[in-house]
Structure 1
Amino acid sequence: MAQVQIVSDGPDYRHQIRSGDHVVVADEPAALGGQGAGFAPFDLYLASLSACTAITLRMYAEKKGWALGEFRAELSSRRDDAGKLVVHRVLHATGPLTDAQWQRLLEVVEKTPVTLVMREGATITSERAAG
């Protein structure tokens, strides 16, 4: 499905994440000992969800012939009283969408591929490289 490689190129917590020909820098903010040179890990988590949100809704709207105009999603996260992560999305579009179209988009966004995986969780395994 997807494959990335992360390489520590220092200093501190700065890392390069590669996927094919694309590179993203990850780091921690200065308050956590990093340099703030890139996305923090939970920023990347939200970025993944926001990208899937925007792409899925753009594809859906194009298929339906709806003009989204400029689309924007603002995502935030917090921990609830039980310590569980809660993510909230606020969606914006400048296109002339009706209330019924917005309702349908809000239904579609609940079923984007990344939304579904984040809700169900994932099995994560690890191993030491040979050699």
Structure 2
Amino acid sequence: VQEMAPKGVKEVIVGFKRDDQFGPLLMFGLGGIYVEVLKDISFRLAPLSREDARNIIREIKSYMLLKGVRGEAPVNFDALENILLSMSQLSQDFPEIFEAEFNPVLVNNEKAIVADVRMTLSS
């Protein structure tokens, strides 16, 4: 039995890909089907600080949707920043992970839940 998706949820994507020259490159954007359609993504090199996590969120064009429009509550930005920081730490602690993606991350005004994970190990 799994927890039901929270109400008022937005879907985001958090991931990284390891570059031979620069190391882990983290990405953030609207998730689910929106990442493929809108391609509204922001990037940062790991490791992230809390300020980096905050800024990578603010850089996407869809940021206003996360802040809440037309009476919608804003998402829980602290929870979202924590997931970005966890992904950054994962990229630092496990160099054998070549690529990782949390998509979607379901976030509302209360919490953020990672609904699906994909990882690729280096060969």
**Fold similarity call, TM over 0.5:** no
Q: Quick check: which one's strand share is greater?
A: 2
TM-score by length of 2: 0.32
Structure of greater relative contact order (alpha carbons < 8 Å, 6+ residues apart): 2
TM-score by length of 1: 0.31
Structure with higher Rg: it is: 1
